[in-house]
Amino acid sequence: MYQWDFGILWSYRWLFLNGLGVTVGFTVVIVVLGLVFGLFGAFGSLSRFRALRLTALAFIEAFRCTPILVQLIWFYYALPILAGVEMTPITASALALSLYGGSFYSEIIRGGIISIDKGQSEAGAALGMTPSQSMRRIVLPQAIKRMIPALMNQSIIQFKNTSLVSVLAVPDLVYQSQVAAHDSYRPLETYTAVAVAYAAILIPLTIIVRRGEKRLAVSE
């Protein structure tokens, strides 16, 4: 029987905290950037202009339909050769994860917008609103409420996806725990603790999301 000894992890506490800080900070960056890409993707795919629609669709499908691990490696190793730009592992992985997340956010935002009854924008138009006025005043305020649970869900997935940046040697929680595991010869304790750390952050978040969904169901 394996003798568990979590005590030895204590000496690596600063390493773990550092890693956790990078993971959380990284998540904030890719969620914010991802939402920006998502907005462009969503409005592009709903545009009146065919060229814009096709571009947005190509972006969404390219990133939705390839694995994020492949994208990370491709952005770091292949893109610099093709485009002639050097990227640090952090830039490459932030870009890849933001675009990947953005493709999913696009679909959530687009879905939220088209879920609003067409009569709403018609009523806006009948009052004399331009399409952008009715989007801003009528459609978006209703659509955002519906999008929030799905956006939160996708952001939770993004938080977990940051664990993949360790393959590019970005010093996140997983990367630092690899260091700790190699150093201590205690991989079981190390990775168990890492799993617990992710869950300890995400479980409260999922509870908040679920509450939000319930409140949404009541108000509709």
Q: Which residue's CB is nearer to other proteins, number 18 or number 120?
A: 120
Q: Which residue's CB is nearer to other proteins, number 3 or number 219?
A: 219
- Are 19 and 174 a contacting pair, CB within 8 Å? yes
Question: Rounded to an integer, what distance in angstroms lies between the CA atom of residue 74 and that of residue 67?
Answer: 11
Contacting residue, 55, 142, 163, 192, with other proteins by CB under 8 A: 142
Q: How far is the CB of 120 from other proteins (least distance, A)?
A: 6
Only segment of 89-97, 123-131, 155-163, 194-202 that touches other proteins (CB under 8 A) = 123-131
Identity of the residue numbered 145 = K
C-alpha 181: how far from its chain's center? 27
Interaction with other proteins in 44-73: which residues (CB under 8 A)? none
Only segment of 53-61, 96-104, 122-130, 195-203 that touches other proteins (CB under 8 A) = 122-130
Helix (H) and strand (E) counts for the chain? 10, 0
Element (H, E) at 37: helix 13-45
Q: Which residue's CB is nearer to other proteins, number 142 or number 192?
A: 142
For residue 71, the tally of other CB atoms under 10 A from its CB is: 21
From the list 52, 34, 43, 6, the residue with the least C-alpha distance to 93 is 34
Contacting residue, 32, 130, 157, 210, with other proteins by CB under 8 A: 130
Query: Per rule CB under 8 A, is residue 141 in the interface with other proteins?
Result: yes
Q: Which residue's CB is nearer to other proteins, number 113 or number 138?
A: 138
Identity of the residue numbered 63 = F
Residues near other proteins (CB under 8 A): 117, 119-120, 122-123, 125-131, 133, 137-138, 141-142, 145
